């Protein structure tokens, strides 16, 4: 079986070069061809010796995921559905803004964590994506956006906020992060790459050592009893432990704060009293808040908080000295907004049958 070189970061590519009897600098050349110029044909890598090109073609491939469909929203947001084998597909979303272009990528086919307001979580879990499939989303998007390795980058920021929980696919995600930061590959700074987690505490500590990029934590509730329901992994890693992990992360973080994401669910977590409780909860953690108006999907059972309620909630945080942004909903006409990503997932956890039963019971 030929190896897929998109699976390798610099360290692994250097080891591979050694195995086939090549010097370490070849690894940097290869990275540059594959990721900076988006080349997938060894024959076109003009500064590699012919004999090396032949050797590479015999032992390796450069295989990004295939695109199943592409859509463009009225606001310019673009979404690609990428095949990841066995009938599964995941979404990648590009959000153009005046000063930056952000690519939101997936890390798993589905998600096992069952947050109640998330359509990915409702679908079940199939498998972890490989490093090639994770970085392949960036590889593809660059190509689709017409970037040829010259001039200003179209993708200036990457957020790991698509399908899946990145910290539960740790090694493959870290391999992809290394490539995002590598000057021979995508050359992004650590502040421009944000990993979002639902709160996998040991993963946060491991990330702080392996590759401390900007951290976003999905908080969504001001106390354990509500968070246990909305984000069930809270039962394993309750708020006190999660906030302590955030405090530890600050020491190595590329920015001097952690971003807390908070989805605004009408009548569930959006009252003034809950905002006050939240202020008290995070008082020892240098943080910013990102309020996300809930994006609905069929049978979600939740409603989005009204703009008035969201601004009242925001004011409580702001008055306590916290910087708050309210996320603009982008791409909802192509189901590309946060939490609407459904990809195509063959659930392996047999969760659906249970869900149907639950739904029948509640009828
Ligand atoms: N698993 C990671 C990253 C993917 S989800 C995490 O949970 O953080 C990215 C963000 O979208 C998270 O903050 C998540 O809570 C939020 N989200 C999920 N479903 C949503 C929905 N229906 N509307 C708005 N935001 C949602
Ligand atoms: Fe998984 Fe994140 Fe969705 Fe929760 S919000 S189910 S952790 S993708």
pLDDT in tens, 11-48: 999 999 999 999 999 999 999 999 999 999 999 999 99
Q: pTM of this prediction? A: 0.94
- Distance from Cα 7 to the centre of ligand 1, integer Å: 26
Tell me, yes or no, whether 229 and 349 share the same domain.
yes
- Ligand 1 pocket (Cβ < 6 Å) reads 115, 117-118, 161, 165, 196-198, 218, 261, 263, 292, 294-295, 338-339
Q: How far apart are CA 32 and CA 247, in angstroms?
A: 36
The CATH number of whichever domain residue 107 belongs to comes to 3.20.20.70
Tell me, yes or no, whether 260 and 356 share the same domain.
yes
Nearest CA to ligand 1 atom 9: 161
Portion of the chain with pLDDT greater than 70, in percent: 95
Contacts of 61 (CB under 8 A, 6+ apart): 2, 3, 4, 5
Which ligand 2 atom sits nearest the alpha carbon of residue 108? 8
Q: How far is CA 341 from CA 91, 140, 265, 290, in A?
A: 6, 18, 18, 19
Indicate the residue among 44, 61, 78 that finishes a domain: 61
The CATH number of whichever domain residue 34 belongs to comes to 1.10.150.530
**Nearest ligand for residue 292 CA:** 1
Tell me, yes or no, whether 17 and 80 share the same domain.
no
pLDDT digits (tens, 9 = 90+) for 173-213: 999 999 999 999 999 999 999 999 999 999 999 999 999 99
Tell me, yes or no, whether 11 and 78 share the same domain.
no
Tell me, yes or no, whether 246 and 315 share the same domain.
yes
Which ligand 1 atom sits nearest the alpha carbon of residue 164? 1
Indicate the residue among 11, 28, 61 that finishes a domain: 61
Tell me, yes or no, whether 90 and 144 share the same domain.
yes
Tell me, yes or no, whether 10 and 73 share the same domain.
no
Q: How far apart are CA 270 and CA 321, in angstroms?
A: 19
Our count of domains for the chain comes to 2
Indicate the residue among 36, 61, 86 that finishes a domain: 61
H or E stretch covering 36: none
pLDDT band at 344 (very low <50, low <70, confident <90, very high): confident
Tell me, yes or no, whether 74 and 207 share the same domain.
yes
- Ligand 2 pocket (Cβ < 6 Å) reads 111, 113-115, 118, 120-121, 164-165, 198, 218
Domain enclosing residue 21, as ranges: 3-61
- Distance from Cα 109 to the centre of ligand 2, integer Å: 11
What pLDDT is stored for residue 360 in this prediction? 35
């Amino acid at each position: 079986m030929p190896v897929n070189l998109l699976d390798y970061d610099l360290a692994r590519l250097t080891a591979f070069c050694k195995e086939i009897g090549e010097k370490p600098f070849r690894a940097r050349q290869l990275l540059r061809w594959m990721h900076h110029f988006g080349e997938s044909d060894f024959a076109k890598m003009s500064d590699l010796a012919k004999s090396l090109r032949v050797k590479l073609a015999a032992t390796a491939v450069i295989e990004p995921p295939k695109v199943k469909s592409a859509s463009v929203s009225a606001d310019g947001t673009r979404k690609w559905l990428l095949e990841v084998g066995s009938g599964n597909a995941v979404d990648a979303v590009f959000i153009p803004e005046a000063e930056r272009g952000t690519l939101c990528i997936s890390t798993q086919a589905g998600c096992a964590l069952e947050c109640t307001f998330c359509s990915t979580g409702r679908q079940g879990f199939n498998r972890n994506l490989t490093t090639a499939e994770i970085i392949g989303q960036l590889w593809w998007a660059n190509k689709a956006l017409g970037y040829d390795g010259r001039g200003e980058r179209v993708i200036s920021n990457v957020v790991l906020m698509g399908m899946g929980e990145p910290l539960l696919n740790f090694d493959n995600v870290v391999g992809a992060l290394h490539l995002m930061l590598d000057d021979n590959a995508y050359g992004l700074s650590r502040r421009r790459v944000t990993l979002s987690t639902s709160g996998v505490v040991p993963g946060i500590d491991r990330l702080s050592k392996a590759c401390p990029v900007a951290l976003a934590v999905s908080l969504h509730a001001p106390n354990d009893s509500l968070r246990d329901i909305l984000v069930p992994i809270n039962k394993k890693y309750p708020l006190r432990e999660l906030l302590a992990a955030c405090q530890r992360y600050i020491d190595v973080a590329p920015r001097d704060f952690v971003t807390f994401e908070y989805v605004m669910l009408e009548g569930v977590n959006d009252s003034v009293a809950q905002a006050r409780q939240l202020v008290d909860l995070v008082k020892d953690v240098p943080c910013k808040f990102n309020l996300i108006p809930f994006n609905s999907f069929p049978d979600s059972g939740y409603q989005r908080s009204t703009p008035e309620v969201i601004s009242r909630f925001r004011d409580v945080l702001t008055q306590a000295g916290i910087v708050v942004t309210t996320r603009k909903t982008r791409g909802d006409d192509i189901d590309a907004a946060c939490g609407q990503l459904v990809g195509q997932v063959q659930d392996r956890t047999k969760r659906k049958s249970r869900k149907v039963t639950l739904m029948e019971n509640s009828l």
